Structure 1
Amino acid sequence: MKFELHHTDPKSKARAATIETDHGKVETPIFMPVGTVASVKGVHQRELREDIKPDIILGNTYHLYLRPSIDILEKAGGLHKFMGWQGNILTDSGGYQVYSLSDNRKINEEGVNFKSHIDGSSHFFTPENVMELQRSIGADIIMAFDECTPYPCDYGYAKRSMHLTHRWLDRCLAHLEKTPFKHNYAQTFFPIVQGSTYKDLRKQSAEYIASVDAAGNAIGGLSVGEPAEEMYGMAEVVCDILPVDKPRYLMGVGTPINILENIALGIDMFDCVMPTRNARNGMLFTSEGTINIKNKKWEADFSSIDAMGITWVDTEYSKAYLRHLFAANEYLGRQIATIHNLGFYLWLVREARKRILAGDFLDWKNKMVKQMDKRL
């Protein structure tokens, strides 16, 4: 993987850069649509390619391991071929999903025992077999196996968990050194900073992760219920330590406002289920604020979904029509809303990049944050 930093905003720490893998270029800042089980919910791959046009999407090791299974993915020739996606893919290692199964998993030094959310069957993840799984899946960027702590989290537990994540990282690295690529392109490995919301732990973890000298670095354990200001505080601490010449990925974040504020702190990469999940529930993110399209106030509003016409659906369909589809429980409504929300997120990070390169990012960011904080 190649990373080229083009410009840093003079009034903030926002960066415009380019990542290049064997599947193409990724211009940052970037938002990665979440394709957990080899599908970005609610949209066809053709719509992703032609309408939303993300440079990279995300898959999840835990879910893909359970279904369709690693055997099927290997027989297909990897995730790219299986799902018909020619662009970049990043896979989360499953650490967050294991965290979310708190009632059905046991963590020890060796790894994690957990029960499938599908059929209750028992499984065991270790740093070593998770690296093997991601080799088979074949994502361009693969993640370390870590433990994601909850919020709030006791200091002692957060510290023990952080050190466990560091020991698991060492095992991931050792195993990758003797595990060749399984497909005809290279993979890039990102370790993950942990430490909950404790500044000293985040600092210690960021220093350890930086010392590994990986091609890119991730920040985990945020956006798990902590106040936004604590998220920003931790991101700032970590960004001040992680190398300037490598991409920084804030995992699982977040709202459009979260994304802009973290771009200003020096984050390059984001992912979140929020645009797709909220879309399916009728919540739209727009350039003028947030809309609950199910509200009666939109029943006879024949204006465009978003006045800026960010995607073709914004001008093709009216708010009234989209509200009608939700009221009638038509699947098309959820599909239109999903295309819009993903299109808006991608427009937001691309516009942020333009503003960084132009030198007026901070003023634009502050204006957009005020607009997007409105409920229309």
Structure 2
Amino acid sequence: MNNRPVLRVENLTTRFHTGQGAVTAVDGVSFEVAPGETLGLVGESGSGKSVTAMSVLGLVPKPGRIVRGAIELNGSDMLTLRNEELRRRRGKECGMVFQNPMTALNPSFSVGWQMREAITAHDKRSDVDTRIHRALADVGMPDPQRQAASFPHQMSGGMRQRVVIAMGMINDPQLLIADEPTTALDVTIQAQVLSLMKTLTREHGTALLLITHNMGVVANMCDRVAVMYAGEIVEEAPVDELFASSRHPYTRGLLRSIPNPDRPRQKTPTLPGSPPNMAQLPTGCRFRPRCVFADSRCDAHPDLLAVADRHKARCWKTQNGELLTETKSLTETTDAN
């Protein structure tokens, strides 16, 4: 595997100006994704995952803007490119799979017409129909010619998501960003779509940035994981290391929130409390109000530092070599009657 990252994000800070004042939705985020690698960006809703993806693509909605940091795609600084050059790179070097395929696809045009637009925006070759049919076949669509002539409303949710994946991959991008790509699908179709994405990215050597809140998806799909909370990364590690030895209380809580089929009568544990208001962040550690390990050290804001080989955490306790051995439950849990 080529070790040079396809995507490098350094100290990314994205801010919105609202009626409550300036809100920093992404605060000093840094990560890399190598060719053929899948990085999972995980966390609760509102943690900054999707804004991070929109920042990479240069699609931050107003009144938001990137105020600091660097975003490099294949070595090029994306923040210095003009809009025309950004549009050329979107879809060609970086593909996107959006959360809801029904809103990602235009109901007024056939699937084939929309895929043609995705191709001809970057490539004027004459074999467009062949590429469309091959892309639909690659994502497991039966009778690609007929499906290309269909409209989105004539397809099931799973088929629409396959079309969105095909559009994201049709120009052989070096990077694919998938933002909660299976949220609107049932469990069986979720598994099929995730398996498809994993196969396609491995076969093409595509770097995948997978945004999700589902730790089960992370376990099955990702090579490395970056956990976000309140706009910043609080832990980053290889996926096996993260699941075996998480070093941040928030990550520990997320992992314990995975339903356990071996204990069907026990309610699934949940993290106590709620994420903070991003316009009124707590001082010190942002997870402190929800953390059972909080002490006087947490009055100061911790940096993201190495706690093991290829493993970083933003926690005073683990950075000092202490283990997360709880004296009381990290999460609220009640046995079912």
Higher helix share: 1
What interval of TM-score do these two structures reach, taking the shorter chain for normalisation?
A: 0.3 to 0.5
Q: Please give the TM-score of this superposition, normalised by the length of structure 1.
A: 0.37
Q: Please give the TM-score of this superposition, normalised by the length of structure 2.
A: 0.40
